Amino acid sequence: METFVPLDFRIDNIERLIHSFTVHKEGLIIQQENSVSYGGTMLLNDVELILGMSFITLQNYINSSIFDCCSTLKRQYEKYNLTKKNEKSNITLIVALANYYKHKDSPGDIFKETIRTLKYFNLSIDKNYDVVDSPILKGFDILSENNELNDLIEIVKEWRAELFKNQFGNF
């Protein structure tokens, strides 16, 4: 029996965006290798920006997929964790990292669920962190063993297929 998964009209644009982020990230690394004045903290800050934007892009894709499947975002946190029962999923981590990145410079604007998720994954939520300890950078390390943004695309695509299977079953 095949699983019903409707056409994903969003994924092509997501893949293009993530590819452009990848190209930019690789360019920064090359720039760092060829420059005496660019590196270390500057490189990490720029990579953090690229990863933060990637997480926001994927968060939008995740929530749009839930809406496509269920016509509502009610109980979305349950859907983030549908592949995990008593622990938090990689989807929950992606969403938390996106929320953290969007609100990290606004005191008090980080949601409780975001804080709980970052703590669950042992990521610092101290707003005065050294970029080396960035939850964005460390969260990416958790999600991608190979340090590849394409790993994130695979995570969300697999989750989306499971979301539709969970909602509609096999046909």
Q: What is the pLDDT of residues 147-166, one digit of tens each?
A: 999 999 999 999 999 888 88
Distance of alpha carbon 100 from alpha carbon 56, whole angstroms: 10
Distance of alpha carbon 165 from alpha carbon 146, whole angstroms: 28
Asked if residues 163 and 65 have their Cβ atoms less than 8 Å apart, the reply is yes
Structure tokens given for 155: 């995570």
Residue spans per domain, the chain: 11-168
pLDDT by residue (tens digit) across 71-128?
777 777 788 877 665 578 999 999 999 999 998 887 667 788 888 999 999 998 877 7
Q: Tell me the average pLDDT across 30-41.
A: 87
